[in-house]
A and B are shown apart, each in its own frame.
Chain A
C-alpha cells in the first residue's frame, strides 16, 4: 500500500512539474512549487508512517514552516514588480 501511495505522489509531482514548466505567469510557477513542497511533505510523512521511525520529522516541521513563508515573500515580490 505504501508503494501505491508513493506512486500517486510521484504522479502528482509529475503533473506539478508540467505546470512549473508550462506556466504562463510567475504566479503559476510559484503555485507549482507550492505543490511540489506539499508532495515532499507527503513523502516524508508517508515514509514515517511506513517505517514507524521519526528520524525525518524535524525536516518535516522545517519544510512546513519555510514553504508557505517563501510563497508569501514571492507574492510580495510579484505584487511589487507589477508584471
Chain B
C-alpha cells in the first residue's frame, strides 16, 4: 500500500516535469524542469518498489538502479544543457548577464548568428570584445 502511494507520488512528479517540458519557452528552462523533478520522481517510484519487494536480491537491484541514476543523470543533464547553451545561446529574458559569452566561439563551436531577441542585441548590454 505505502509502496504504491510512493509510486503514485513519483509518477505525479514525472507528470509535472512533462508539463514543464511542454510549456517552458527555452531549452535551458526545459532542462531545468526535467532534471530536478524527474530525478526526485524516479527516486520516489524506486523507493515504492523497494518497499513492496521482499527478496533481498530485488531490493539491492532497485537500490543499485537508484544509485546509478542519481550518479549519472545530473552530469548528463548538465552536459546537454551546456551544449544547448554553447550552440544556441541564451534567451534575452532569462537573465541580465550572459556570463559564458566568452566560451562561445571557443572549443570549436561557431557562434550562432545573432537574432532579434537574443542576448547582446539590446543597447548597452553587449559583451566586451564585440
A residues contacting B by CB (< 8 A) are 1-2, 4-5, 8-9, 11-13, 15-16, 18-19, 25, 27-28, 30-32, 34-35, 38-39, 41-42, 45-46, 48-50, 52-54, 57-58, 60-61, 63-65, 67-69, 71-72, 74-76, 78-83
Contacts and interface: CB of A to CB of B under 8 A. Distances in A.
B108 interface: yes
Given A60-B61, A71-B79, A52 B52 contact: yes
Nearest to B67: A64
A72 B79 CA distance: 6
A27 B80 contact: yes
The secondary structure that dominates the A interface is helix
28 contacts: A1-B4, A8-B14, A12-B11, A15-B18, A16-B18, A31-B21, A35-B17, A35-B18, A35-B21, A35-B38, A41-B45, A41-B69, A42-B41, A46-B7, A46-B49, A48-B52, A54-B57, A57-B61, A57-B62, A58-B61, A64-B69, A65-B68, A65-B72, A68-B76, A72-B76, A75-B76, A75-B79, A78-B84
Given A8-B11, A50-B4, A65-B72, A45 B83 contact: no
B4 A2 contact: yes
Contacts of B19: 15
A30 B84 CA distance: 10
Given A18-B22, A54-B57, A75-B83, A45 B69 contact: no
Contacts of B91: none
A12 to B, nearest CB: 4
